Chain A
Amino acid sequence: MKGTERKRFIDCFSDFTSDTEHLTKEELLAELQEEGIDITHLEKRVAEIVIKGSAERRLAWQRKARERREEIEKILESKQPAKVAQDLMLKIKDILKGSYGQGALSHAEAYFRKKESLSEKDLESLIEDLEDLNLLEKASEDEE
Chain B
Amino acid sequence: MEKEKVLHLLETADWKHIILRLTYYARQRARVYSWKSGRTDQLLGGKTPEDIACEAIEKVWAGTRDWDPDKYPNLLTHLEWIVKSDTEHLASSMEHQTTGRPPEPEGEEESLTELSDPFSSIQGKTPTPEDELITREEGDLEEKLKNELYAMVKGDEDLEMLLLCFEEGIDKPEIIAAQTGWDIPKIYNLKRKLFRKAKKIRMNPRHGG
* A→B interface (CB under 8 Å): 1, 6-23, 25, 27-29, 31-32, 35, 37, 39, 42-43, 45-47, 49-50, 52-54, 56-58, 61, 101-102
Complex Cα gap A21–B195 (Å): 14
Main secondary structure of the interface of B (DSSP, over half): helix
**With A12-B165, A12-B170, A49-B58: A17-B21 Cβ-Cβ less than 8 Å:** no
Q: Contact string, B19-61, partner A, CB cutoff 8 A, digits 1/0?
A: 1110111011100100010000000000000100010011011
Q: Write out, one digit per residue, whether chain B residues 174-209 have a CB within 8 A of any chain A CB (1) or not (0).
A: 000000000000011001101100100000000000
Chain B contacts for A20, CB-based, 8 A: 21, 24-25
A-B residue pairs, 8 tightest by C-beta: A53-B61, A22-B188, A12-B171, A12-B166, A7-B169, A6-B169, A18-B28, A14-B32
- Size bracket of the B interface: 35 or more
A interface: dominant SS = helix
Chain B positions within 8 Å of A9 at CB level = 142, 146, 163, 166-167
Q: Is B149 an interface residue (CB 8 A)?
A: yes
Binding site for A on B (CB under 8 A): 3-4, 7, 10-11, 15-21, 23-25, 27-29, 32, 36, 50, 54, 57-58, 60-63, 80, 113, 117, 120, 142, 145-146, 149, 163, 165-171, 173, 187-188, 191-192, 194-195, 198
A39 to B24, CA, bound (A): 11
Could you tell me the distance between the alpha carbons of A7 and B171 in the complex, rounded to whole angstroms?
9
The interface residues of chain B lying within 8 Å CB-to-CB of A43 are 15-16, 19
Task: Determine if B146 and A16 form an interchain contact, defined as CB atoms under 8 angstroms apart.
Answer: no
Q: Find out whether the CB atom of B29 lies under 8 angstroms from the CB atom of A18.
A: yes
